[in-house]
Structure 1
Amino acid sequence: MKFDLIDVALLGIIFSIVFYYAYIRYKEEKKKKEQQLIPTLKYYLEKFKREKIEYRLKAEKFEEKIKIYTQKLKEIRKNIGRYRWEKDEKKYLRGLKGTDFEWTFSFMLNILGFKVCETPVYKDKNIDFITEIKDKKLCVDFIDFNQLKNLDEKYMEVLTEGKEKYRCDSIWIITNGKVDRQTKKKAVERGIYIWDYRDIIQFFPSIMVVEEYYETETKLHNYELLHKETTDEIIRRDTWIKEVEKKLEEAYRKKEKVER
């Protein structure tokens, strides 16, 4: 297929018309966009300012909740003596096993002011946790009623090795079973103090303190998380507001320059 000069000229005219039309459309769209820029920036500026206020109000509400639940935790610690053992709680205590028993009473020790840390190796030398209070370091072993049968001379000897390894001042065995006086006496000779079911009922607050403290602490942590997320949104809006204000200033300067 051959093109003569007339065809080439026609094609050139067509392409020129199309290009010119496209250029006109581009200029119109650009002008329209420039005209809409300032109103658009104003819209977003107001939007971000409004959202900042909304998030600030939310943050203030979360701050109030944090104060409330922080105070509740203090009140639980302060009134620890009012948590006395009821019949159902004693029954629940007798049925605790394994990790549930360990978690419950390690958490209770924390409420009572002990600093509780796990050993680097799980149940190293029969020790579950290392606790500290008033410059005293204790090795703690939790033994539920099912495992109490393992408490013999060899078991206590291993615990004593753990005491030396971790340089503890003494060893506590906490159990929800019952231990006879002779076994307790032999343990004391090794620097091991046994808190059995009867001692827990007599000297520890009821298990209800763990439930209330854990529930309150969980709510506190949730509100702290919500407060942080809300505060992050406020910071984000502050950044966006500054960016829009800067663009708005540039748009006004450009408009004034065009109008001169």
Structure 2
Amino acid sequence: MSFDLIDLAIISLIMGIIGIYAYYRYREEKHKEQQMLIPTLESYREKYIKERKLFAEKAETLRKKLEEIEKEFHKIKANINNYKWTEDEKEILRNLKGTEYERIFTIIFEILGFKVLEPEIYKDCNIDIIIETTDNKRVCVDFVDYTQRKKLNENYIKELLKGKEKYNCQSIWILTNRFLDDDVEDMIYEYDINLFEFNQLVRFFPSYRIVDDYDENRTKYHNFELLHKETRDEVIRRDLWIKEVEEKLEEIKRKRGKK
């Protein structure tokens, strides 16, 4: 099949008409898009402003919730004397061991207002933690559960004394949840170390129940703190988007004003 000049001319004319139509359609759509740009941007701005308000209100609600939980912390600390050891709790105390025993009394020290520090190396010189008093005095603390009492000999005590000097502590406390043999007690007191046996723990420290309440409150605080931060981030994000839209609107209006 061959084309003569007339056919080619007709095809060229049709293609030209299609091209012109497509061009004007493009110009028309572009014009509509330009005309709709400001209303679209204004619509986005209104949307972001509403969202910002909702997130800001939610953030304020969460902030108040954090304040309430903060008050609970103070309430727990103010009512330490109410956490007396029950007989069941005493039995649990007798059988605490290892990291759980250390964890409970470490948190109790924090609740009592001590600053808790870790030795440079885990159990360095037999020291589990170092506590700092409000007048900046340091105490080396060693937790000895009922399974570890046999390790308390003279070499063990000398290691604690070495740690006392290394960490610039004014004294050493040994906390054990059972009772020690008399000769071991005498040796400990001979080296001027403060010993807290089962009876002293029950007498001078609040029940581990305070740790359960404190941990529960701390978990709630942490969860609400995360939610509050995420919500505040959404507010900040909307602030940024609103600013970007307003800058774009200002730019468009400035350009149109020059035409």
Give TM-score scaled by structure 1 length. Answer: 0.90
The RMSD of aligned alpha carbons is 2.3
Whole-Å Cα distance in 2 between the matches of residues 62 and 204 of structure 1?
34
Whole-Å Cα distance in 2 between the matches of residues 155 and 124 of structure 1?
12
1:231 match: 232
1:81 match: 81
Name structure 2 gaps, 5 residues minimum: none
2:190 match: 189
Whole-Å Cα distance in 2 between the matches of residues 99 and 228 of structure 1?
32
Identity %: 49
Alpha-carbon distance change, 45 to 229 in structure 1, aligned in 2, over 3 angstroms: same
Q: CA deviation at 1:137?
A: 0.5
1:169 match: 170
1:35 match: 35
Whole-Å Cα distance in 1 between the matches of residues 129 and 100 of structure 2?
14
Alpha-carbon distance change, 6 to 157 in structure 1, aligned in 2, over 3 angstroms: farther
3-state secondary structure, aligned to 1:122: coil
Whole-Å Cα distance in 1 between the matches of residues 217 and 126 of structure 2?
32
Give 2:103's aligned amino acid. Answer: W
1:99 match: 99
Structure 1 segments of 4+ aligned residues over 6 angstroms from their partners = 2-8
Give TM-score scaled by structure 2 length. Answer: 0.90
3-state secondary structure, aligned to 1:125: helix
Give 1:204's aligned amino acid. Answer: F
Q: CA deviation at 1:42?
A: 1.8
Deviates more, 1:29-38 or 1:70-79: 29-38
3-state secondary structure, aligned to 1:120: coil
Deviates more, 1:225-234 or 1:118-127: 225-234
Q: Is the 8 A contact 1:184 1:193 kept in 2?
A: no
1:209 match: 210
Q: Is the 8 A contact 2:152 2:184 kept in 1?
A: no
Alpha-carbon distance change, 11 to 187 in structure 1, aligned in 2, over 3 angstroms: farther
Q: CA deviation at 1:205?
A: 0.5
Q: Map Cα deviations across residues 97-126 of structure 1 (whole Å, 9 max, x no partner).
A: 211111111111111111111111111111
Q: CA deviation at 1:15?
A: 5.0
Deviates more, 1:24-33 or 1:109-118: 24-33
1:24 match: 24
Name structure 1 gaps, 5 residues minimum: none
2:68 match: 68
